[in-house]
Structure 1
Amino acid sequence: MTERRKKMHQLCVLSVLLLVFSFSNGQIDRTRYITLDEVRTDMEAYALTVWYGTEIEKFPLKILSVVRNRQPGEDMILVVGQDERFKQAGAVRGCSGSPVFIDGRLAGALAAGWSAAKEPLYLVRPIEAMLEVGTLPATEPPGQGRRLIKMDVSQPLDLETVAEQVTRAFASRSAGDRPLLPLATSLPAHVCGELAEGFRSLGVMPIPGGLTASAVSDATDETPFERGGVLSVVLCTGDISLAGVGTVTEVDGDIVYGFGHDFTGIGAVEFPMGDGFVHSVIASRDMSFKLATPGTVRGTIQFDQYAAIRGQIGKMPTMVPMRITVERFNDPQVRTYACRLAYDREYTPMIARTIAQAAALMRGPLPPEHTVRYQGRITVQGGEPIAFENVSSGRSVAEVGSELLSTLTLLLNNSFEVVKPESIELDMVIEPDDSTAAIWSARLSQAVVKPGQTMTADVMLQTFRAERIAASVELTIPETMPPGKYPLHLLGASAYNSFLNQNAPQRFRVVDAESLRTGLNRVLNMPRNRLYAVLPVPATGLTLRRHELPDLPPSRMLLIQDARRLEPIEPYKNWIENSAGLDKIVSGGAQIELTVEQP
């Protein structure tokens, strides 16, 4: 580092320390800022923002009122735009954070408006509240702090249930009267429409722009962060981009304030911070917005609280590389999408699901009859990777996305150890055929067998178009099998999974980091395109937490079942099984009585 750069860095650090010290002592530089108690309606006011490109323009405002206690403990300034472009467009989303100057001093930022209003009305967040961001606890004010996703691991591991739980948690966070925040994206409109529900659960409304950050980097590379400039919170960059786009309110040294409201409201964060380029302002009666593309990542958003976001220039964020390969029936080319995701233990799983599903849909929606064959790999720091492979049919990319969301959420939010992902890889092959089939009927090659014999179960499957196909699976009876009548279960993958959860919940119970990884690998790699034959057999023994203790003598069982023990103890259940691979995803099940005779 040169001597000049060292001095500049020292000055930046000193200015930030002075700023934080002044606000922690309730002081503010009144030569630079105007406080709420000084504001009068007859004062001259204007805002700075970008209407096109990266050029910052000045827009006159008229002060209408100081709105006290708009919400408990929250005061705002009500203004109306005087520029003809503002009058034509009304309140514009993307102007959030635009600095407002009153009497030549910075008063705050445009923070909220009314889309259906006939005039360009805005509420201005006072600068005092914005400059407090990062100096107060992340939970201030009440209800706006980080609400960690609490995973319920008391029940056997079920990825679909976890995905529903996470989606509900995000939906509840974005519920209420809070408007959806605009999210600039390079995704085409039809993909945004297909994934609308997922975007809503994130509390955002995607605005397709068709360009990634690399497409506008030449226009923004030399643009510094300054008052009124474009400010982006980058969730994903690379071949697919997702970013919240607003405006810079204040720059003090290497510290940037913007938006005038929160983006996620979860407090301390590590989101990539970038600039951006405004292509146009789209005026609409329903909602006017800036059509923008996020620019180069140049720092990190470190605080995301109710009054503003705050970032640091030059401090580069942690990002997670994600590579997706898609081979589609209607595309002669195999497409690869290389992206980098923002790292956050709550948001990264949701972003990864969105990007994976979007990549599969880029060349159009899937037809009603389709099959998705996929395999993936999640690499984590200092641990074994989680690898998975399976097939789905008739559910678009819902199962793929659900598994990715659940797995990442469980890994990043587990209460046993800190897990940081190093990379995410996903390969998908999409075919225009339905691969589902239901069990129609079943019979045994012999209903009466002796220990040691091998019998065959012949199953008739009914496909999507009511075609019948035959399948079979063999099972060898144990030499030690006592005589008697036994139920033989012939199951598809879903029914087989239910059988395991009921009869061996200990195999899917999460009690530590090791059992989490083991359970994930077991659930993720349970093939859907197999026919399972399961025959319960007599067993003695117990299960203790996730440990199986078969063939225990009665004396040991009595000792272990002491009522004073706190660990849950359950009877050990045993069975023999076999499976046959098919080119169909089997659903349903059948049960046939099997008689075992004396040898």
Structure 2
Amino acid sequence: MSERQRTGVFNRLLRTCALLLWTSAVAAAQSWDLNILPLDQIKPGMQGVGKTVFTGEGAEEFGVQVLDIIRNFYPQTDLILVRLTGDRVEQTGVVSGMSGSPVYLDGKLIGAVAVRFGEFAKEPIAGVMPIGYMLEVADTERTRPQAVRSAFSGEYGFMRNVLVGADANFWPTLAQTWSGRAMNQQSRIESPLVFSGFTDAVLAQAAPLMRTLGFQLVSGGGATAANFQAHGKLEPGSSVSQVFISGDLSIDVTGTVTAVDRNRILAFGHHIFNLGPTRLPMASSRVLTTLSSLMGSNKMASSQDIIGSMRQDRLAGVYGELGTAPAQVPVVVQTHSAAQGRRAFSLYLADDPALNNLMPLFLRIAVFQCLVVAQLAAAPCSVQLEGAVDLADGSRITVEDFFSAEQSLGFMAAGSEFGDASDLIASLLGALWVSDFASPAVSRITLSANIAEGERYARIHSVTPDRAEVNPGDSVAVAIELAHHDGRITTIRQSLAVPKTTTSSSLTVLVGGGRALTQYDVQTNPEKFRPKNYNELKELLKGRRRNDRLYVQWRVPAPGLIVGGEELADLPPSVMGIMNHRRVSEDRPLRDRLLEERVLPQDREIAGFKRVVFRIIPAGGDPSRRETGIEAAGEW
């Protein structure tokens, strides 16, 4: 077969596939009570109109001229190339927020504006997603599968954040992971991600993460979840929002309605995250104004009442249902400071398994903003935090901590007092939502923060033993020096009686802040912090160490193994031989066992970690074998 013949066969196959698609599309359109124009009847030069909201709530018409059909723009998906005409679009070009704007030829619906080509474009050239593909999105709702949880592939992920704090790369890495879910993200129209109630400083810090996710961040007004309207209405061309957070602060993405039939709607003309089945809040929206820019115009929108749920998020668009109440988690954040007094924020967080590892990022940004409001200018401060997550089974997971660190990593970065406090509550939610365990649903989150001016922070400066060697039964002591942020040095003394029956050759004292000591534990026994079921997960979360505590551990050598996170100490040599023979990669040798851990409450954040070792001389031992016995571990 010649090349020409093969090309002819290929083209006939394409036409056949297109015919089959549009045959099913016409049938779907009839079930939707839509009058559509099949793709194979659309020709270059045809002219029509589109509808979108430029200001207010009423849709306006703009002109459309078909330029051509782009075959296979997406995998097995064609795109209609058009030029937009009219005074409005000549000034604004293709606008962010126009995604989903319906396009009609001869009064028949052909699809939705979905793609913008390039920046600084001199002509408003757009791509239209054919309506047939969008109707297929709606058709998937009839055989709706169970929503799939999204898991973040970090080593410890949210659990590690709860225990030792998030590093500066955690949230950017998470956002980058999500950016890979967006197919052909650079060609679709960037949808405005509207932040309402946020300060410029917080928006500036959040913007890079949102750009990574494929959104253009803008300021606007917000939806209130309490105003759910079961009988809300939308029309083709209306502005519509998919809501992530609503209430006193809100985060939502704005697009345009393509088609409406009874309580069903199609919108956007492209995916948001390509998640498949969803259950996200859907709100009506009002466009405050359309901002013109050579780099890409966008709509400044204000979301209104929540009127339904977005049920499908697919390559060709989003499907929603009016009157279907979405799942949301109420969040209450209370703050108190001398500068701003008492304030309370009421938020509602979208509860969707498909977004279970991205919603903590949105929650972190919102909690951070609530805390910043209580701060006086940019003065250093300290945060006393109490948080609780209520679960559907009636149980509660609580966390308490204190944060007062220098903001050396940036205004909103992990390592600042507000960043650390926000990380804790957001990661606590993430640890519950991302786990694969059959855990109860989260029913409510409450957070109380007392914010005081000035830093209260100390680092472990030194740990000095009263001697280098001891005998069984002796009482030993260490002097712990804390170096405060203002230059003061304070000393804390701790003592312990060495067991008379000990046969150990040494006694190790570990002194650390909550994070540093937990990090040491994670390094020596990582499997201990990988829960195997929901109960283990809950106990790990409840048992986290605090920053405003000084921890002192006394340990003695105890040869053994760590198997599945469980410490097996003082094993007989015969058992050790058997266990070593069958060791798997997760098993680790055990160096010592814990005699006692003391928790000393402090009025400030404690950082750092040090270790000292006493040599134990058994009765009748050689006194000439003297060693200093002092070690200093690296600090964290």
TM range (shorter): 0.7 to 0.9
CA distance in 2 between counterparts of 1:216 and 1:550 reads 56
SS at match of 1:227: coil
Cα distance in structure 1, aligned partners of 2:534 and 2:84: 56
Find 2:597's aligned residue among 572, 577, 581. 577
CA distance in 2, matches of 1:221, 1:411: 31
In structure 1, the partner of 2:546 is 527
Partner of 2:352: 344
Residue 360 (structure 1) aligned with residue 368 (structure 2): no
2-structure distance, mates of 1:246, 1:466? 55
Gaps (5+ residues) in structure 1? 1-19, 140-144
Match of 1:132 in 2: 136
- 1:199 positional shift: 2.8
- Between 1:306-315 and 1:179-188, the stretch displaced more is 179-188
Q: Helix, strand or coil: the match of 1:213?
A: coil
Structure 2 residue 97 is matched with structure 1 residue 94: yes
Partner of 1:415: 436
Superposition deviation, residue 537 in structure 1: 1.2
Equivalent of 2:151 in 149, 152, 156: 149
Farther off after superposition, 497-506 or 116-125: 497-506
Distance in 1 (alpha carbons) for counterparts of 2:609 and 2:54 = 62
Contact 1:54 1:223 (C-alpha < 8 Å) held by counterparts: no
Contact 2:230 2:323 in 1 (8 A): no
Q: Which residue of 1 aligns with 2:287?
A: 278
Q: For the structure 1 residues 424 and 167, does the alpha-carbon distance in structure 2 shift closer, same or farther, using more than 3 Å as the test?
A: farther
169, 173, 176: which is aligned to 1:168?
173
Give CA deviations for 1:315-363 in whole Å, capped at 9, x if unaligned.
11111111111223531x2111111111123233222222212212235
Q: 1:318 aligns with which of 327, 334, 358?
A: 327
Listed as ranges, the matches of 1:384-463 within 5 Å are: 384-392=395-403, 393-394=405-406, 395-463=416-484
Name the SS of the counterpart of 1:388 in structure 2.
Answer: strand
| Mean CA deviation greater in 421-430 or 406-415 | 406-415
Contact 2:515 2:546 in 1 (8 A): no
Give the Cα–Cα distance (whole angstroms) in 2 for the partners of residues 556 and 155 of structure 1: 35
Aligned-pair RMSD on alpha carbons? 3.6
Quote how far apart the aligned CAs of 1:386 are.
1.8
Q: Comparing 378-387 with 320-329, which one deviates more in the overlay?
A: 378-387
Post-superposition Cα deviations, 1:86-137, rounded to whole Å, max 9, x if no partner, equal 1111221111111111111111111122442122222111111111114359
Deviates more, 1:99-108 or 1:575-584: 575-584
Confirm whether residue 103 of structure 1 aligns to residue 106 of structure 2.
Answer: yes
Q: Secondary structure at the match of 2:59?
A: strand
SS in 2 for 1:573: strand
> 2:46 is matched with which residue?
43
Alpha-carbon distance in 2 for matches of 1:376, 1:27: 49
SS at match of 2:173: helix
Asked if the contact 1:151–1:413 (Cα under 8 Å) also holds between the matched residues in 2, the reply is: no
**Structure 1 Cα separation of the partners of residues 243 and 432 of structure 2:** 23
Of 608, 613, 617 in structure 2, the residue corresponding to residue 588 of structure 1 is 608
Assess if the C-alpha contact under 8 Å between 2:279 and 2:352 holds in 1: yes
Question: Once the 2 structures are TM-superposed, how far is the Cα of residue 462 of structure 1 from its aligned partner?
Answer: 2.4
Displacement, 1:485?
4.0
- What do the CA deviations read for 1:415-439 (whole angstroms, capped 9, x no partner)? 2314421111112222332233222
Asked if the contact 1:212–1:294 (Cα under 8 Å) also holds between the matched residues in 2, the reply is: yes
Task: Say if 1:216 and 1:295, in contact at 8 Å, map to a contact too.
Answer: no
Deviation at 1:203, TM superposition (A): 3.3
**Residue identity in the other structure for 1:378:** V
Tell me the equivalent position of 2:15.
Answer: none
Residues 473, 498 of structure 2: 8 Å contact kept? yes
CA drift at 1:282: 1.3
Say whether residues 1:185 and 2:187 are aligned partners: no
Tell me the residue number matched to 1:5: none
Separation of aligned partners in 2, 1:256 and 1:276 = 14
Contact kept, 8 Å, 1:33 with 1:107, in 2: the verdict is yes
2:160 paired residue number: 158
Contact (CA 8 Å) 2:287, 2:302: kept in 1 or not? yes
Q: Distance in 2 between matches of 1:507 and 1:215?
A: 40
Aligned partner letter, 1:271: L
Relative to structure 1, the CA distance from residue 155 to residue 110 in structure 2 (aligned partners, 3 Å threshold; closer, same or farther) is closer
Determine if contact 1:221/1:296 at 8 Å carries over to the other structure.
Answer: no
Aligned partner of 1:292 in structure 2 is: 301
Is the 8 Å Cα contact of residues 54 and 276 (structure 1) preserved in structure 2? yes
2:410 maps to which residue?
none
Q: 2:273 aligns with which of 264, 276, 281?
A: 264
Alpha-carbon distance, 1:569 to partner: 6.9
Q: Which amino acid aligns with 1:226?
A: E
Q: How many angstroms apart in 2 are the aligned matches of 1:462 and 1:326?
A: 30
My pick for the range that moved more, 71-80 or 536-545, is: 536-545
- Call closer, same or farther: CA 1:249–1:284 in 2, change over 3 Å: same
1:212 partner letter:
G
Q: CA deviation digits over 1:480-530, x for unaligned, max 9? A: 33474434333233331133224444532322222222222223xx01122
Distance change in 2, residues 1:422/1:283 (3 Å): same
Aligned 8 A contact 1:461 1:468 in 2: yes
**Which residue of structure 2 aligns with residue 113 of structure 1?**
116
Query: Structure 1 residues 153, 117: closer, same or farther in 2, change over 3 A?
Result: closer
| Secondary structure in 2 matching 1:93 | coil
Matched residue SS, 2:113: strand
In 1, Cα distance between equivalents of 2:568 and 2:605: 34
Shift of 1:280: 1.0
Task: Give the superposition deviation at 1:366.
Answer: 6.8
Query: Would the alpha carbon gap of residues 256 and 27 (structure 1) be closer, same or farther in structure 2, given more than 3 Å must change?
Result: closer
In 1: Cα distance, 2:515 partner to 2:496 partner? 20
Deviations 1:436-489 (A, max 9, x none): 322223323454545455443222222334443333334343343347443433
The structure 2 residue matched to 1:61, chosen from 57, 60, 64, is 64
TM-fit CA distance, 1:168? 2.2
Of 480, 488, 511, which aligns to 1:490? 511
3-state SS of 1:349 partner: helix
Q: SS at the partner of 2:287?
A: strand
SS of the counterpart of 1:322? strand
Question: What is the CA-CA distance between 1:274 and the residue it aligns to?
Answer: 1.3
Say if 1:442 and 1:364 are closer, same or farther in 2 by CA, change over 3 A.
closer
**Judging changes above 3 Å, is the alpha-carbon distance between structure 1 residues 180 and 396 closer, same or farther for their aligned structure 2 residues?**
farther
SS in 1 for 2:53: strand
* Same amino acid, percent of matched pairs: 26
CA contact (8 A) 1:138 1:305 kept: no
Q: Match for 1:74 among 77, 82, 85? A: 77
Instruction: Quote how far apart the aligned CAs of 1:257 are.
Output: 0.3
Number of matched pairs: 571
The DSSP-based 3-state class of the residue aligned with 1:118 is: coil
Aligned residue among 529, 536, 542 for 1:508: 529
Q: Give the drift of 1:549.
A: 4.4
Shift, 1:574, TM fit: 0.8
